[in-house]
Structure 1
Amino acid sequence: MPEIDQSIAQHYHDRTKYDPQTLASKSHNLDWAKQPVPFKEYKIGADIDLKPYLQETVETVANKSDTQWWWRLSQLLFHSYGLTAKMPSMGSAVYLRSAPSAGGLYPAEVYLVSRGTPLLPPGLYNYQCRSHSLMHFWESDVWQTLQAACFWHPALESTQLAIITTAVFYRSAWRYEDRAYRRIFLDTGHLLSNIELAANIADYRAHLIGGFVDEAVNDLLYIDQEQEGTTAVLALADLLDVRQNLPLGRTALPSTTDTNYPSIPDGELLKYFHLHTQISSTTTDKLNLPNVQPEKSLEDKYNFPFCEKIPTRTAPIYWGEHLSELSNTIYKRRSTRAYNGENLNFDELKALLDFTYQPQNYIDQNLDPHPDHFDLNLIETFIVVSGVQGLDAGCYYYAPKAQELRQIRFKNFRRELHFLCLGQELGRDAGAVLFHTADLKNAIAQYGDRVYRYLHLDAGILGQRLNLAAIRLNLGVSGIAGFFDDQVNEVLGIPTDEAVIYITTLGKPR
């Protein structure tokens, strides 16, 4: 039996750690005959083609209200999760999407819920990214059911559209087994970040909702919760309708904390963990929570004594007229496969940090200055510098509120990074490597075991902003979710209570 003081989230995290002594014994050969298809198909439903609107521009739709409405929805969905490339692979093809996914497995599904608009009847739609279309698979008013499942979140009171993201577990578990749960939520975080930014392009505001009755939303979508589960709900406020400029509601709600769980066999841990971090209709009644966001911390967590402090304030990245360069960047984003080992410059690193952590600097470019997260107070960022002109090699803590780097170790870690990233040359050859971490015990105390979802979603959201900023600056970037967990803390001098959530490598592409 597990230790009684260890919750299921902590148990899951510890059990899915990679360790150099045991990783080799856990390796397995993939059964390519059982490789999952990363697309969902419906045999019954009405298809709405969105492709024609991709040829339109802001100027061509300006005086055509109906065409403009469809163009905006088409832009939103394409920039969120649309197909951006077709790559040959082992005699077949792999379709790349606007949001990155570990191993190109794309576990996420995107659903659109309509309350009923003049152009889009009420009901449920699945976004078919292969054909860039909407499949209308359920034709009735389900909006009140969604509101009830989201505890009557204020963002759903006046909005007409909502996006629901889900995960098809086997798509990632086929390759990554139980540890796939981490990647599923990082991948979903990438997608949520894209939705938020794509909403800016299309004049929507995405209100993120992480606290919902899982079973109720799953039932709403007619999905089998053993195979697929809801990961997030987003109310879409139409910014061209002033009535939908809504006050922010609470993004994250807690679940229970489970310390009374059985011995769970390998291969069943992922599904057990997901099912036992759900919120029931009675959970929040017991907690009696106000419907407001948690207060933001005014101070950065770590202020190490005697460390050098280096300011990171800089001019914001320019994203083009009507965010045209943001649109282009989302379209051409690719994960870098190799770096050439050349140095970055400090101005480039500062610009990456500015776009990722200082969204208030982008209000003049029509970007949301306060995009939703689950709880960024829980996420910390450490940066290992191996090759950045103007910075000494070593490990730094990034203090986003003070906007400065605080050096905590003086050393070139290229060799250690190669090891920590499971022998991937991306770690060795990167100019800088970012580590997102969280005090898991403290996070569970605040939000219960469900916080494990929130931590990985937030890390994925930040990681995707890093992705896009790097591509805009013609840099290389690649996220890494496979690493030797405990050894990261030991090697880099990161406090032991900080669980490593995600790694992003940055460098000059080969």
Structure 2
Amino acid sequence: MPNLSTSIATHYHERTKYHPQTIAAKNQGLDWSKQPVPFKEYKIGQSYDLTPYLSETSPTAPQAQEWQRLSRLLGCSYGLTAKIPTMGNPVYLRAAPSAGGLYPAEVYLISKGTALLPPGLYNYQAQTHSLVHFWDDEVWSKLQQACWFHSALENTELAIITTAIFYRSAWRYEDRAYRRIFLDTGHLLGNIELACSINHYRPHLIGGFQDHLLNKLLYLEPEKEGVITVIPLTDLLKQTQDKLVTYQPNALPSPIQRDYPLIDDGELLPYFHQATAIQTAESPQPFTNSSDTQSLEDKYNFPFCLKVSTKTFPIDWGKEFYDLEKTILRRRSTRAYTGANLTLDELKSLLHFTYQSQDYLSQGFDPIPDYFDLSLIETFIAVSGVQGIDTGCYYYAPKAQELRQIRFKNFRQELHYLCLGQELGRDAGAIIFHTADLQKAVEKYGDRVYRYLHLDAGHLGQRLNLAAIQLNLGVSGIGGFFDDQVNEVLGIPDAEAVLYLTTLGRPRYQ
């Protein structure tokens, strides 16, 4: 029987934990005859080919310049970056990483009506790098209504919508796939944020909306797929749009559901997604607590612990983001590490780019990129091999920019075990753990917070990915681990639910 004092978010998290005693039962093999196709096809609509605008040469015609910006934005966000031949269908890799290469996210574009794109709905076809205009009608007012007339939609003409097709991930990861879907979408959000900087857009992240209205607007099948985020794009090259957006919260709460039935395995994911939806026609009131929302100090400040400053110089991303664009397109998840040490300076640079965005304004980055609520996310680092710092587990304090040691130990063998026997865990020089106090988070945003937490963790993970590739390091995210044992082994407080792991090391080329 479900514990009716427990929210459905907490129930879902507990139900989808991996345990050493039961993990074998979850690995009974995959039915390859039911493997989902990672591309959505639209058989009707006008197609706009974006491939001619991928050239590095800047066109002179203003309309061609706009096409190039849009083409490169979508390509750097979710475009194909490699084709791997196999015995069956080829495997395509994309700019954003995805657990198991399953790519559950879809990218849509809604146009208010521009010189390039007539009003209506567009789907980004990554396989052909094109836009399909599958609904030719004015829909912007419906988008505004579904987002309670968010101010970011007032002066903009384009909005990216990310959706998820649940079965693409659930085919392999079953109910736990919900976690991975939002981590994967978080990776995509990280790319969108940075690709917008490259192409002179400012993305505004919206996670609080009327789910059923947006699903209906995009003609989605809500039992199979759903809208995850709305991202209005301010065009910074148009004076009519380059205005300050009146602040509105991008994360809104949903109800906390504590009265739920017994849910069978395989049904938990769709039930939980519906439970996190916002159905009311009136905008929910955002959480307000001045003493909590903008804490001036980092959460954990352990007495007498070793403290190591992480202050450093920004990573140089090249003139006009040249190195950033190249890094996004050549990013790959590392398959094996050598076990050799990283340096403390490398670890500092990784953390600096991920958390200290204010120091990148001079290079043209957004100094305050949108997240849902980073005050809920904590960062712990298991150091196994970083030259210049002792092995052990550290808490990263982003405001103070320092590492605070909480446990003295070399964890290599334990990390190998915690990561389900993956050698990446054993051979990494460092593993970054993103966690959250789930009970506190639910109190603030209701069950919908589970979406926000994993989206933010994935977003941070993507910045780590790109910084590591730029520094010629190996990097790979891990969404499968023994949840409870992570806290126990590393000394992380029990209240912290583990969301995501990012491994970092010296790549071993095979």
TM-score, with length taken from structure 2:
0.97
What is the match of residue 94 of structure 1?
A: 91
- 1:235 equivalent in structure 2: 232
Gaps of 5+ in 1: none
Cα drift, residue 90 of structure 1: 3.9
Aligned with 1:209: secondary structure?
coil
Q: How big is each residue's C-alpha offset from its partner over 1:371-399, in whole Å with a ceiling of 9 and x where there is no partner? A: 00000000000000000000000000000
Matched residue SS, 1:434:
strand
Q: Distance in 1 between matches of 2:346 and 2:4?
A: 47
Q: Is the 1:56–1:71 Cα contact (8 Å) retained in structure 2?
A: no
Q: What is residue 328 of structure 1 aligned with on the other side?
A: 326
Mapped partners of 1:232, 1:269: distance in 2: 21
Cα deviation 1:259-312 (Å, max 9, x = unaligned): 000000000000000011100133635x3778x9x9432110000111111100
- What is the alpha-carbon distance in structure 1 between the residues aligned to residue 278 and residue 106 of structure 2? 20
Counterpart CA distance in 1 for 2:286 and 2:397 is 33
- For residues 173-214 of structure 1, the C-alpha deviation after alignment (integer angstroms, 9 at most, x for no partner) is 000000000000000000011001000011000000000000
The one-letter amino acid paired with 2:250 is: T
1:252 maps to: 251
Q: Distance in 2 between matches of 1:289 and 1:244?
A: 29
Secondary structure in 1 matching 2:240: helix
**1:106 alignment partner, one of 99, 103, 109:** 103
Residue 36 of structure 1: aligned partner: 36
Equivalent residue, structure 1, for 2:479 = 481
1:201 alignment partner in structure 2: 198
Among 383, 395, 398, the alignment partner of 2:396 is 398
**Among candidates 333, 340, 348, match of residue 342 of structure 1:** 340
For residue 24 of structure 1, report the CA deviation from its aligned partner. 1.0
Helix, strand or coil at the partner of 1:208: coil
2:264 is matched with 265
Q: Which residue of 1 aligns with 2:139?
A: 142
- Relative to structure 1, the CA distance from residue 298 to residue 204 in structure 2 (aligned partners, 3 Å threshold; closer, same or farther) is same
Structure 1 vs Structure 2: percent identity of aligned residues? 68
TM-score (norm 1): 0.97
Question: Quick check: 2:249–2:286 contact (8 Å CA) kept in 1?
Answer: no
Shift of 1:43: 1.0
The CA deviation string for residues 342-382 of structure 1, in whole angstroms up to 9 with x for no partner, is: 00000000000000000001001101000000000000000
Question: How many angstroms apart in 1 are the aligned matches of 2:237 and 2:388?
Answer: 45
Match of 1:452 in 2: 450
Closer/same/farther in 2, CA of residues 469 and 35 from structure 1, 3 Å limit? same
Q: For the Cα contact (< 8 Å) 1:256–1:283, is it kept in 2?
A: no
CA distance in 2 between partners of 1:45 and 1:90 (Å): 33
Give the 3-state SS of the residue equivalent to 1:76 in structure 2.
helix
**Corresponding position: 1:461 with 2:462:** no
Alignment of 1:108-507 (within 5 A): 108-245=105-242, 246-247=244-245, 248-282=247-281, 284-285=283-284, 287=285, 295-507=293-505
Structure 2 distance, partners of 1:230, 1:90, is: 34
Q: Which residue is equivalent to 1:509? A: 507
Q: Offset of 1:250 from its aligned partner?
A: 1.2
Amino acid at match of 1:172: S
Query: Partners of 1:288 and 1:466 in 2: how far apart?
Result: 30
Residue type at the aligned position of 1:342: A
Amino acid at match of 1:36: P
Q: 2:213 is matched by which residue type in structure 1?
A: A
Q: 2:190 corresponds to which letter in structure 1? A: S
- C-alpha distance 288-309 of structure 1, shift in aligned 2 (>3 A): closer
Whole-angstrom CA distance in 2 between matches of 1:103 and 1:375: 27
Aligned-pair CA distance for 1:243: 3.1
1:216 and 1:82 map into 2 onto residues whose CA distance is 28
Partner Cα separation in structure 1 for residue 163 and residue 22 of structure 2: 32
Instruction: Give the drift of 1:241.
Output: 1.5
Structure 1 distance, partners of 2:28, 2:136, is 44
Name the aligned partner's letter for residue 249 of structure 2: R
CA shift, 1:56, in A, is 4.1
Count of aligned residue pairs for this structure pair: 504
The reply to whether residue 54 of structure 1 matches residue 51 of structure 2 is no
Measured in 2, the distance between the counterparts of 1:190 and 1:493 equals: 28
The question of whether the paired residues in 1 share the 8 Å contact of 2:252 and 2:286 is answered with no
* Equivalence for 2:7: 7
Backbone CA RMSD of aligned residues: 1.3
Aligned partners of 2:254 and 2:276 also within 8 Å: yes
Specify the code of the residue in structure 1 equivalent to 2:107.
V
- Local SS of the residue matching 2:233: strand
- 2-structure distance, mates of 1:425, 1:126: 38
